[in-house]
Chains A and B, each alone.
Chain A
């Protein structure tokens, strides 16, 4: 008598566990589509695609690491003279620092403003919400080049020409529409009841947002932040137009100055390209996992 209640109280999935594995019993395991495709049909196209993608990188490394005038297809003997040249003679140390500052500031400003604006769009209904969203979408169709002169005049009147701040503001402005839409989608996916529960427990709206919503937005914030950083890191036009002092210029402008009217130092250009690519590769290597989660959350559940 004493054992029966115990057996009945056991959770359903534990019942019969001692006799046989339940998953294999009764019917054949369902085959997934992945198993039906021969492995080579997956790996060969992937390998070819990888090769296609990596050859330009190899070519860049080859030119950056082999001595000037060499036609060898392997970077041997290896030299770092081109890196030394661009880093010291061509001021890439300064350009790198400036690009880092612009990238980091754009990331912080874009993410911060998008977070606040995205929360408002996700949680509040206001009179011109649809109009505002439409405006955000429409702003995506305005090319940066069209805004150049108005932005130039605004920054000039604010005495911000030749200041990295002008580039940060311009980059943030252009990043914000998409970032706002993305972040608001992420916030909509966080159940409102969680925040309400926090309010019941005594939190104010801001504290509830920080304690409950923010941790759940990590994939979205990483996706938005990384795109803001990478975009501002690579963007050439605003830095070229708004910065007219050599010690304020950024990596993309510096790279372009390596191409002369009649001659180009391919070794230096390749070394500059490697320096420009490294931070982007590192950023993507670190955030890859979060980025995929972020995009799938934003795309599917929106």
Chain B
């Protein structure tokens, strides 16, 4: 069959149109540049990167801020956490960025690379936040930005990996809290009764599975560095053995459906079924409280590995970014300073059950109570844990730790791929990404 001339022309037109659109979609109008200090008053826009869940506490903080600064209005915009990166990327490419936005270290490098964020190191030094931000978190923010010592966000909170367990099930089985990996595996086995639909553990096999697998892997192997020279340690023999053991939990002591578990399904399974343990973070505390009530569950830091050493991977640090395109940076910075100051930072973190970045807020009574009730709250800062710093600064990190490898990890769980094959492939991607990043520096 041959095409007539008009049809050929139409096909060419459509092709040209598609290519033009593609080019336009990939283009940048330079809208991230410019901006000005403004008059330090007027209206500013704030995008909450975890909109909805944190909306009530942000509205309280904004109301307090507007009371303290009657000449500034804050327009609050809640953005769903799952889509915040695409929202930022679209606004970076097409314009319309806010003045202030919530930014975590997991995608900070990507935004810095697109020149969207204003450096804030100088403003911190010259303002009220000097010396009050937790050093470990400012270090994470510096490292994640990937531009030397410069900071591109003001840290506000950190999360920490937590092993949640059902105290009632442990007591009934006569088990002690799983503070070591050996105790963890033992408890997972003893709490499993498949015929009764009871399982010792729920594993994350779907979205977000890689960070959790890496956490369990480094925790059991005891390796404390992500890089050994120019090469990653993810496929070191100790890590391969640790991942084999971790993936071996699937199906034996976990539900079969776990292969598709994202955190929502995983937490829902734990809260609504007979599952002994769950690895998540401090953030799901309220969900467990609703499900089991006080005393029905407890949280522990990462179990200890070989030689009693506790090792875990770093968690993203949440913060507030000042956007370069803002025409009212003066007012926007006042808002950031207010939100990261003692009172607001404490209120936000208490509501979110996370660790405050403001060192004065970290001394508040609720923080000490939380640390007493849950060792995971304190383990990040009390020196008991060695942290393997994940390379958030690699622009490819998000792809490598999510879309590129999550399906392959499901194959490992299902026994269709070995842990070694999986880790070797991931190591190759990481080494390439690091080499590419180094070339760009």
**Chain A interfacial positions (CB closer than 8 Å to B):** 68-69, 71, 89-90, 128, 130-132, 134-135, 138-139, 142, 146-150, 152-153, 156, 161, 240-241, 244-246, 249, 253-254, 256-266
Docked-complex contact A261 and B283, CB < 8 angstroms: yes
The CA of A224 and the CA of B290, in the complex, are separated in Å by 45
Q: A149-B90, A156-B96 are in contact. Are A240 and B283 (CB under 8 A)?
A: no
- Min CB–CB distance B210 → chain A (angstroms): 16
- Min CB–CB distance A173 → chain B (angstroms): 13
Other CB < 8 Å A-B pairs besides A149-B90, A263-B267, A263-B287, 6 of them?
A89-B56, A148-B94, A240-B80, A256-B82, A260-B53, A262-B282
Give residues of chain B (70-104) contacting chain A, Cβ–Cβ below 8 Å.
75-83, 86-87, 90-91, 93-96, 98
Docked-complex contact A130 and B6, CB < 8 angstroms: yes
Query: Which one of B45, B79, B95, B280 contacts A152 once the chains associate, using CB atoms below 8 Å?
Result: B95
Docked-complex contact B272 and A71, CB < 8 angstroms: yes
The CA of A260 and the CA of B96, in the complex, are separated in Å by 24
Docked-complex contact B76 and A152, CB < 8 angstroms: no
Whether, in the assembled complex, B263 has its beta carbon less than 8 Å from a beta carbon of chain A, the answer is yes
Whether, in the assembled complex, B13 has its beta carbon less than 8 Å from a beta carbon of chain A, the answer is yes
Q: A149-B27, A257-B53 are in contact. Are A263 and B90 (CB under 8 A)?
A: no
Q: A156-B95, A244-B77, A257-B52 are in contact. Are A134 and B11 (CB under 8 A)?
A: yes
Docked-complex contact B78 and A153, CB < 8 angstroms: no
Query: Which one of A69, A134, A156, A258 contacts B94 once the chains associate, using CB atoms below 8 Å?
Result: A156
- Min CB–CB distance B263 → chain A (angstroms): 7
Query: Which one of A138, A147, A245, A262 contacts B284 once the chains associate, using CB atoms below 8 Å?
Result: A262
Docked-complex contact B80 and A257, CB < 8 angstroms: yes
Docked-complex contact A244 and B45, CB < 8 angstroms: yes
Docked-complex contact A259 and B94, CB < 8 angstroms: no
Which residues of A are found within 8 Å of B77, using beta-carbon distances? 244-246
Query: Which one of B18, B79, B272, B283 contacts A262 once the chains associate, using CB atoms below 8 Å?
Result: B283
**A-B CB contact pairs (8 Å), 28 listed:** A90-B55, A130-B10, A131-B13, A135-B14, A138-B14, A148-B94, A149-B90, A149-B93, A153-B94, A240-B86, A244-B47, A246-B76, A254-B52, A256-B52, A257-B52, A259-B52, A260-B52, A260-B81, A260-B283, A262-B281, A262-B283, A263-B53, A263-B267, A263-B284, A263-B287, A264-B53, A265-B53, A266-B268
Which of A253, A259, A262 counts the most chain B CB atoms within 10 A?
Answer: A262
Which residues of A are found within 8 Å of B286, using beta-carbon distances? 263
Which residues of A are found within 8 Å of B417, using beta-carbon distances? none
Which residues of A are found within 8 Å of B365, using beta-carbon distances? none
Docked-complex contact A258 and B53, CB < 8 angstroms: yes
The CA of A158 and the CA of B292, in the complex, are separated in Å by 53
- Min CB–CB distance B271 → chain A (angstroms): 8
- Min CB–CB distance B93 → chain A (angstroms): 5
Residue of A with least CB distance to B316:
A261
Docked-complex contact A135 and B10, CB < 8 angstroms: yes
Which residues of B are found within 8 Å of A153, using beta-carbon distances? 24, 29, 94-95
Query: Which one of A90, A241, A245 contacts B87 once the chains associate, using CB atoms below 8 Å?
Result: A241
The CA of A241 and the CA of B45, in the complex, are separated in Å by 15
The CA of A176 and the CA of B52, in the complex, are separated in Å by 33
- Min CB–CB distance A127 → chain B (angstroms): 8
- Min CB–CB distance B32 → chain A (angstroms): 13
Whether, in the assembled complex, B264 has its beta carbon less than 8 Å from a beta carbon of chain A, the answer is yes
Residue of A with least CB distance to B59:
A246
**Chain B interfacial positions (CB closer than 8 Å to A):** 4, 6-7, 9-11, 13-14, 18, 21-22, 24-25, 27, 29, 45, 47, 50-56, 75-83, 86-87, 90-91, 93-96, 98, 159, 263-264, 267-268, 272-273, 280-287, 290-293
Query: Which one of B24, B280, B284 contacts A149 once the chains associate, using CB atoms below 8 Å?
Result: B24
Which residues of B are found within 8 Å of A262, using beta-carbon distances? 159, 263, 280-284
- Min CB–CB distance A252 → chain B (angstroms): 9
Docked-complex contact B52 and A149, CB < 8 angstroms: no
The CA of A139 and the CA of B90, in the complex, are separated in Å by 22
The CA of A116 and the CA of B49, in the complex, are separated in Å by 43
Which of B285, B290, B292 counts the most chain A CB atoms within 10 A?
Answer: B290
The CA of A261 and the CA of B83, in the complex, are separated in Å by 11
Instruction: Give 7 nearest A-B pairs by CB, closest first.
Output: A262-B283, A257-B52, A260-B53, A256-B80, A152-B94, A131-B10, A138-B14
Docked-complex contact A135 and B13, CB < 8 angstroms: yes
Which residues of A are found within 8 Å of B284, using beta-carbon distances? 262-263
The CA of A260 and the CA of B52, in the complex, are separated in Å by 7
Q: A149-B90, A152-B96 are in contact. Are A260 and B291 (CB under 8 A)?
A: no
The CA of A266 and the CA of B53, in the complex, are separated in Å by 12
The CA of A262 and the CA of B81, in the complex, are separated in Å by 10
Docked-complex contact A257 and B14, CB < 8 angstroms: no
The CA of A102 and the CA of B286, in the complex, are separated in Å by 35
- Min CB–CB distance A58 → chain B (angstroms): 15
Residue of B with least CB distance to A248:
B77
The CA of A257 and the CA of B47, in the complex, are separated in Å by 13
Docked-complex contact A146 and B293, CB < 8 angstroms: no
Docked-complex contact B50 and A260, CB < 8 angstroms: yes
Which of B47, B80, B159 counts the most chain A CB atoms within 10 A?
Answer: B80
Which residues of A are found within 8 Å of B272, using beta-carbon distances? 71
Which of B47, B263, B282 counts the most chain A CB atoms within 10 A?
Answer: B263
- Min CB–CB distance B321 → chain A (angstroms): 16
- Min CB–CB distance B339 → chain A (angstroms): 17
Docked-complex contact A134 and B45, CB < 8 angstroms: no
Which residues of B are found within 8 Å of A245, using beta-carbon distances? 75, 77
Docked-complex contact A253 and B45, CB < 8 angstroms: no
Docked-complex contact B287 and A264, CB < 8 angstroms: yes
The CA of A90 and the CA of B159, in the complex, are separated in Å by 25
Q: A146-B25, A241-B87 are in contact. Are A257 and B96 (CB under 8 A)?
A: no
Query: Which one of B18, B53, B56, B293 contacts A261 once the chains associate, using CB atoms below 8 Å?
Result: B53
The CA of A146 and the CA of B75, in the complex, are separated in Å by 29
Which of A130, A134, A265 counts the most chain B CB atoms within 10 A?
Answer: A134
Query: Which one of A134, A142, A246, A254 contacts B10 once the chains associate, using CB atoms below 8 Å?
Result: A134
Docked-complex contact B291 and A261, CB < 8 angstroms: no
